[in-house]
Amino acid sequence: MARPVTLFTGQWADLDIQVLCQKAAEFGYDGLELACWGNHFEVDKADAAYCRETRNMLQQNNLEIYSISNHLVGQAVCDRIDERHQAILPERIWGDGDPEGVRQRAAAEMIATARAAKQLNVGVVNGFTGSAIWHLLYAFPPTPASMIDAGFDDFARRWKPILDEFQKLGVKFALEVHPTEIAFDIASAERALEALDRHPAFGFNYDPSHLGYQGVDYVEFIYRFSERIFHVHMKDAGWSAAPTEAGVFGGHLEFGDRRRYWDFRSLGRGNIDFEEIIRALNRIQYEGPLSIEWEDSGMDREHGAAEACAFVKEVDFKPSAIAFDAAFED
């Protein structure tokens, strides 16, 4: 095994963290990527004692931690705020629901998350950024370039001060490139970097499942942003080779509906080529964790989480330390 295999706890937030630690150890995981919701990691409680207790709990279950994740709050920093956000945000962030107030409180919470990560002695916070222009994805009525420019300007204005604080703390922010975010493919990820003047604290939580069904070259993403891959999610997706009732946009159908063109799958059961991903990660010398974000609405999650852990440990391998034909040389 070349890298530690961890479990992202976001899809398990209904379970008490102590229960999940025991399960993850039984499933065979080496560590956890703690989500900042449920009671898995609570940013507002993350003083020295809380962080010490969190590490002790993990160590008692022979688990390590390499990152924490605050996708839900990060989403609100740039988004067009509506009633959906109230369902995912802590009350202290939602407040009275005034959109600009929500965005500002979310920004402050992301800085607090960096401080909590530092206290926990982890160097990466994964998350979302939100986007003021996702609703403009399909260009009709015709979208002037100035509107897109304004969206990236808004992103930079809101996130640069956050990233400056991350930089001071020695913590990286890893955006999970994902539909509804400011970056959702290679082109928009490059533009996000440019908008931030390639801020050193900003990079990516690589997740191929959000790229493959779009038709994005998810292996090329690794090479293109080799120095910005701060964390890796292992997650699979399957898409149809034949026409379907609902295409890439999903037809407003829920996950698991057989009429969809694509859906998330347990690792090894979709279309993602994980061997090529491992080879690419070896070439860029990525040595961080492979964190499983398990989603498959057609499978029992405990069965799936254990199966996925075994799959990743099987597919991962160390790069060669020598050229295979070196033995032929004198």
- Report, as an integer, the average pLDDT of 236-255: 96
**Given this model, what pLDDT does residue 323 score?**
65
**Given this model, what pLDDT does residue 90 score?**
97
- Report, as an integer, the average pLDDT of 183-209: 98
Residue 61, pLDDT > 70, answer yes
- What is the DSSP code string of 120-131? HT--EEEE----
**Given this model, what pLDDT does residue 134 score?**
98
Q: Where are the beta strands (DSSP E) in the chain?
A: 5-8, 31-35, 64-69, 124-127, 172-176, 202-206, 229-234, 236-239, 262-265, 290-292
CA distances from 52 to 45, 46, 135 (A): 12, 9, 42
Q: Which of 94, 58, 57 is nearest to 75 (CA)?
A: 94
251 sits in the region (left: phi over 0; alpha: psi -120 to 50; else beta) called left
Q: At residue 79, what are phi and psi to the nearest 5 degrees?
A: -70, 160
- Report, as an integer, the average pLDDT of 270-295: 98
Instruction: Name the pLDDT band for 129 (thresholds 50, 70, 90).
Output: very high
- Report, as an integer, the average pLDDT of 7-33: 98
Extract the tokens encoding 153.
């300007």
Contact indicator for 232, 205 with CB cutoff of 8 Å: yes
Residue 251, pLDDT > 60, answer yes
- Report, as an integer, the average pLDDT of 3-7: 98
Amino acid at 7: L
Burial 280-309 (b: 16+ CB within 10 A, else e): bbbeeebebbbbbbbbbeebeeeebbbbbb
State how far the Cα of 174 lies from the Cα of 127, in Å rounded to an integer.
6
**Given this model, what pLDDT does residue 2 score?**
82
Instruction: Please report, rounded to a whole number, the percentage of residues in the chain having pLDDT higher than 90.
Output: 95
Contact indicator for 127, 110 with CB cutoff of 8 Å: yes
Q: What is the CATH number of domain 5-328?
A: 3.20.20.150
- pTM, full prediction: 0.96
**Given this model, what pLDDT does residue 321 score?**
76
